[in-house]
A and B are shown apart, each in its own frame.
Chain A
Amino acid sequence: MELDDLKSNWQNAGGYSKSESDLLNMTKLTHHPSLKKIRIKLIAETIFLVLFLVIYYDWFDGDKKPLYANIILATGLLFYIANDMIGYVAIAKPVSGLNLKLSITNYFARIKRLAIFSLIFSFLYSISLIVFFTSVIHFTREKRFLLLGLVIILFQLMFWSFRVWTRRIKSLQQQVKDFDTDDNK
């Protein structure tokens, strides 16, 4: 295929397959292929966590636990919810620059920051739960083993999450590198 053929094939590709009403639907979040699911998950998770924050004091004897355990739990939960919301906004808006290179670079920096905060807050949230529920426990040998098992599972989950973020970050890093390469040099 010669250059002119390439251009004409390119310029003839595609038709008017989407009607204006199809396109209108696509502007709505309820029809979005991924954001809709992420938003539902975010809302469900937030409702669950806020409810937990409201009832934990009565249901899980917050008054019998030390003050520090209550503060750590509430702080851990609130930071986790806040990070979830910030993450949603960051993912929903990939376009934020005057040109492609700037936009991808900004997005890369945002996702990297989000990955770090997500890992830290997920870890702190899990630790806050463990601290709260173990703060008044009298530890026996079996209970210590159980706690050790929980901590191992927690680290395993953190590792998986780290791997997912790393894959995402590496792919964006490659895009930034490709845009930065100057073939004149």
Chain B
Amino acid sequence: MKKMDSMEKAFLKIIYDYQKIIYRVCKTYRDSKEDQEDLFQEIVYQLWKSYPSFKGESKISSWMYQIALNTAIAIYRKPKLPVDYVEKMPEQMRTGIGHQVSENEERLFDALRILNDTEKALISLFLDDFTYREIAEITGITESNTGVRLNRIKTKLKNLLK
């Protein structure tokens, strides 16, 4: 029981310190605040389940990204209902999970959500300063393919954000 408590404490400390990673993955993979909140919970649950097998051989952020991205991609989303295009997003929608977000941040996430799930995973890791080798290890895509794909994604993003 005592061992469990210390494990739980250590886990919570890590997740608290690195919760930005989960936030970014949720904002990238889900549109609505409610879906982002559900995914946040799902990711924390999956991290907790896989924590006993985390031996600390890789960086905490690598482990967290792998579980978070895996969960975001695999968990089933009900097909979206068609929505009418709104030119400007209402102010109350421009909030993240629990805090206000800047317009630039919102623009970035709006653009990221247009990419496919694999592209989202690659660019998320790139934006967090992972090297091509680390990205290849986390995703399972070869290092050279990672480079080619990232160049394409960066161009796509730049065009979307012009």
A interface, CB within 8 angstroms of B: 1, 3, 5-7, 9-20, 23-24, 26-27, 29, 31-35, 93-95, 97-104, 107, 167-168, 171-172, 175, 178-179, 182-184
Contact = CB atoms under 8 A, between A and B. Distances in A.
B23 A13 contact: yes
B70 A7 contact: no
Interface string B61-75: 000001101110111
| Interface residue SS majority, chain B | helix
A58 B98 CA distance: 57
Given A99-B138, A178-B116, A32 B20 contact: no
Interface of B: 8, 11-13, 15-16, 19-21, 23-24, 27, 38, 40-42, 44-46, 48-50, 66-67, 69-71, 73-76, 79, 96-99, 101-102, 104-105, 107-109, 116-118, 121, 124, 127-129, 137-142, 144-145, 148-149, 152, 154, 157-158, 161
B99 A17 contact: yes
B73 A20 contact: no
Nearest to B148: A183
Given A18-B19, A94-B74, A107-B74, A100 B12 contact: no
A34 to B, nearest CB: 7
B127 to A, nearest CB: 4
A35 B44 CA distance: 13
B74 A14 contact: no
A32 B41 contact: yes
Contacts of B139: 99-101, 179
Given A18-B16, A100-B70, A178-B117, A33 B42 contact: yes
B145 A184 contact: yes
A11 B127 CA distance: 7
- A-B pairs, 4 with minimum CB distance: A101-B140, A17-B98, A14-B23, A99-B140
Residue among B21, B50, B141 having the largest count of chain A Cβ atoms under 10 Å: B141
Contacts of B46: 94-95
A179 B158 CA distance: 23
A102 B140 contact: yes
Contacts of B137: 99
